[in-house]
Structure 1
């Protein structure tokens, strides 16, 4: 046995280098990341077909079969695709405005206990009111166009962002806070270097909760607006009894929400590369 072999064999596992004991990570996209969502989609569409066409448990006027919805989607694509662009634009714009306002409000609540005690009950009260109740009032209050849509998106989105921001900023790990104090860091240095980075994972949780709500708010807002988005099209086609096309618009809303949520997840991984490396995998 050579000297290097004896040394390696007699060295405790705790003293070995990371390269000797680390398991190499696979790069690229794993097949399960694409295959499992595709399998789930196939199962969902199969159950949809079975309920509507196979067993005839639901009348087609209430829930059209998937093949009829697909035919309506392709037949009215010249109407639904531009409507999808309008709804997606309103969703993203409202989400961005809600994110900026929600993070700022959350920072204000986290910075002062008095501010939190004064305004936290009001925020809870506004969030508790069913947002659909504001719908008929939006046209009277803010007028037509994009304003009622953005207001509805904001009302649905801001609370989870505020809550996650305030929670993240007020639950800084004790060892990091002690380290900042031991280095005599100023309030701004402590906030910028310690508290905000530690709160970012929690803030992104609120953003990911708010993203689907933004799509819901945009569609509800279009019910009370003259913007010809997908919500507007749902009302129009349902009003003339074309439920297949209305369901095609609903399918587009669902696909849009999935894509926007996936895009936000990509932004999270790019902005917080250390989270995956410092947390345990499921």
Structure 2
């Protein structure tokens, strides 16, 4: 007699259906309509201010002039955007590697943590625009100083977030791991690292936007290409349409990099509460 096996959910555990594609699309629309509406409102306000000539055109370029110059000089903006994007991504990746390694060392060594933490804080509060000229003198006017400034801008939130995440592990979990014979490496890989990822991604989102700022700041000091160079030249020539176009493209670059980190978090941390479609949130 054949016995059919049935999967029975454990007692006290409610089985949850996976959200459908339509539910995911509705969630995205629900989350996106507010910022889209705000951007549309700001755009309308920008157009009204320039159309009614509340300010002089050389102070605030109109939306029409701004987007017209982007279309007219598309190759010029594209080439300079690629330069800034490369500097930003290179600096961001380097800051992730150095930041994660530094955080791990600080967590596993109290002496190193007490030694490095004040130095990291001291380095963070120094205005990067003030020390960027030093990197130009030391490293020249190529990509290296811009990447270094991007690393310095993105490094601090990454290392602090990672340290916080690695320390947020329940001590009882660490004791249980040691009791079961797991070594430091296995404990780190199985317990500490997964627990630190939500904190790490929070730092990565901040670092992604700061890396763009760092690359542009480096270009302000000494460069002959990149969005920072475009903005600086437009500012010197009182060319507000090009200036506004450079600012918009720079902002979009930061948004795209932030979105990529958000997308990576979605695939890496599908189990986290913030990623669930039915997570408890305040809605208006």
Match of 1:38 in 2: 36
Cα drift, residue 225 of structure 1: 3.2
Cα drift, residue 174 of structure 1: 3.2
Question: The residue matched to 2:271 in structure 1 has which SS?
Answer: helix
For 1:179 and 1:53, how far apart are their aligned partners in 2? Answer: 68
Match of 1:160 in 2: 157
More displaced stretch, 140-149 vs 45-54: 45-54
Q: Which runs of 5+ in 2 are unaligned?
A: 1-9
Cα drift, residue 16 of structure 1: 7.5
Match of 1:281 in 2: 280
2:13 paired with 1:25: no
Report the count of equivalent residues: 266
Question: The residue matched to 2:251 in structure 1 has which SS?
Answer: helix
Q: Which runs of 5+ in 1 are unaligned?
A: 1-13
Map 1:192-203 to 2 at 5 A: 192-203=189-200
Match of 2:65 in 1: 68
Question: The residue matched to 2:25 in structure 1 has which SS?
Answer: coil
What's the TM-score, normalizing by structure 2?
A: 0.87
For 2:110 and 2:13, how far apart are their aligned partners in 1? Answer: 47
More displaced stretch, 35-44 vs 68-77: 35-44
Map 1:34-113 to 2 at 5 A: 34-54=32-52, 56-113=53-110
- Greater Rg over alpha carbons, structure: 1
Cα drift, residue 173 of structure 1: 2.1
For 1:77 and 1:167, how far apart are their aligned partners in 2? Answer: 43
Match of 2:4 in 1: none
Are the counterparts in 2 of residues 146 and 225 from structure 1 also a CA contact under 8 Å? no
Match of 1:230 in 2: 227
2:250 paired with 1:215: no
What's the TM-score, normalizing by structure 1?
A: 0.87
Are the counterparts in 2 of residues 87 and 218 from structure 1 also a CA contact under 8 Å? yes
More displaced stretch, 44-53 vs 192-201: 44-53
